[in-house]
Amino acid sequence: MTSIKLAVIPGDGIGQEVVPEALKVLAAAGPAIGADVKFEQTQYDLGAERYLATGEVLPDSVLAEIRAQDAILLGAVGGKPGDPNLPPGILERGLLLKLRFELDHYVNLRPSKLFPGAASPLARYQGEGAGDIDFVVVREGTEGPYTGNGGSIRVGTPAEVATEVSLNTAFGVERVVRDAFARAQKRRKKLTLVHKTNVIVNAGKIWTRLVAEVGAEFPDVAVDYQHVDAMMIHLVANPSQFDVIVTDNLFGDIITDLAAAVTGGIGLAASGNVNPDRTTPSMFEPVHGSAPDIAGQQKADPTAAIGSVALMLDHLGYAEAAAAVDAAIIADLNERDGAPRRTSEVGDAIAARVAG
């Protein structure tokens, strides 16, 4: 009997609605995973409610427990907009980013694929164009402007100054670039670096140098470069040209919301915060947030959370079960007739297909 310890953090807003659907599908995938494999789930009530009730965001003891798990499934974090008791950043930095940093999730993997049946706002990709868009963003997950390296002085005065320094280390850039090249080599052998080297010059140099140096070890992978602003054009005008995109933490955050929008919507976009060295549990979560505008109404699409389960299964070595979940998602998308479905209806439909 193989026992896999899974930390489940539904979090806030629609996280509470989509995670149960993802777990439904994980349960349905049991036979495909193997009769001798058991997921031992531990639920963690981290998020806005716990913070507002107790002041706790991620106690050290809870972090230590989570560190001892084999994988993490997360819904979303983020409280009600404008809540004076929950300023922006408390949960995002103190919970989500703390997990990514502490667990050294240096590869933030965000695949984008236009499945048949998914509606792209790019009309010409609907119908026979479906399937043309298939790229993966390898977003650096532990550095960039996300580290909290900065501060404010003279706050609230006309002389206020704020800095948010982007941290880029050769160690950190090299390891994520190497991972991206390895992925490209197994795919269509094309890697695109996205940055803003014409303005963010110092960080740009380190990324450019390491892509060239590591690239020399992957001579069969073609390399190109796009400035992040022009990338907004290319992702809309000709997204099928991309294979693997490697970029820093902030650029990767931004381009993956756009990537989701052009491939059927944010409700379909799955992600993995991966530690490729496997020294810590990797964490799987939809790209979207807590969506307070639709929370509690069973309107959220759980497909992104379910796709995150597929990424998790693949990471844990259950490639066949992961493929079965992906196939069920594709079949479900194909059969959508456009009528809105409740969150649980989508989960039920995909779980039924997985159970087959």
Q: Can you say which residues are annotated as belonging to the binding site for Mg(2+)? A: 229, 253, 257
User: E strand or H helix at 319, and its extent?
Assistant: helix 319-335
| Smallest distance, ligand NAD to C-beta of residue 324, A | 22
Known active-site residue 257 = yes
Q: Which of 253, 314, 326, 332 is catalytic?
A: 253
12-36: burial string, b at 16+ Cβ within 10 Å, e else: bbbbbbbbbbbbbbbebbeebbeee
CA nearest 146: which of 274, 261, 257, 254? 254
> Positive or negative, the Cα torsion across 112, 116, 119, 124?
positive
The answer to whether the beta carbons of residues 283 and 100 sit under 8 Å apart is yes
| 97 contact choice in Mn ion, ligand NAD, ligand IPM, none (CB below 5 to 8 Å, kind-dependent) | ligand IPM
- The residues in 228-287 that bind Mn ion, with binding defined as CB under 5 A, are 253
CA nearest 289: which of 50, 8, 59, 96? 96
| Close Cβ partners of 55 (under 8 Å, ≥ 6 residues apart) | none
93 or 234, CB closer to ligand NAD? 93
Size of residue set near ligand IPM by CB under 6 A: 6
Question: How buried is 161 (Cβ within 10 angstroms: 0-12 exposed, 13-18 middle, 19+ buried)?
Answer: exposed
Distances (CA, A) of 255 to 217, 266, 298, 326: 27, 12, 27, 23
Amino acid in the structure at residue 247: T
The answer to whether the beta carbons of residues 131 and 263 sit under 8 Å apart is no
Size of residue set near ligand NAD by CB under 6 A: 20
Site pattern 240..279 for ligand NAD (x: CB under 6 A)? --------------------------xx------------
- The residues in 286-325 that bind ligand NAD, with binding defined as CB under 6 A, are 288-294, 300-301, 304
Alpha helices in 29-89 (DSSP H): 30-33, 48-54, 60-67
Q: Which stretch binds ligand IPM (CB under 6 A): 90-98, 120-128, 152-160, 194-202?
A: 90-98
Token pair for residue 252? 């990767």
Site pattern 181..220 for ligand NAD (x: CB under 6 A)? ----------------------------------------
| Smallest distance, Mn ion to C-beta of residue 241, A | 23
- The residues in 234-263 that bind ligand IPM, with binding defined as CB under 6 A, are 253
Is 287 near ligand IPM (CB under 6 A)?
yes
| 291 contact choice in ligand IPM, Mn ion, ligand NAD, none (CB below 5 to 8 Å, kind-dependent) | ligand NAD
Distance of alpha carbon 248 from alpha carbon 175, whole angstroms: 12
Is 350 near ligand IPM (CB under 6 A)?
no
Known active-site residue 337 = no
Q: Which of 196, 248, 326, 332 is catalytic?
A: 196
Q: Which of 146, 179, 326, 332 is catalytic?
A: 146
User: E strand or H helix at 43, and its extent?
Assistant: strand 37-43
287 or 354, CB closer to ligand IPM? 287
Residues near ligand NAD (CB under 6 A): 14, 18, 76-78, 92, 96, 266-267, 285, 288-294, 300-301, 304
Residues near ligand IPM (CB under 6 A): 92, 96-97, 253, 287, 289
> What amino acid positions are annotated as catalytic residues?
146, 196, 229, 253, 257
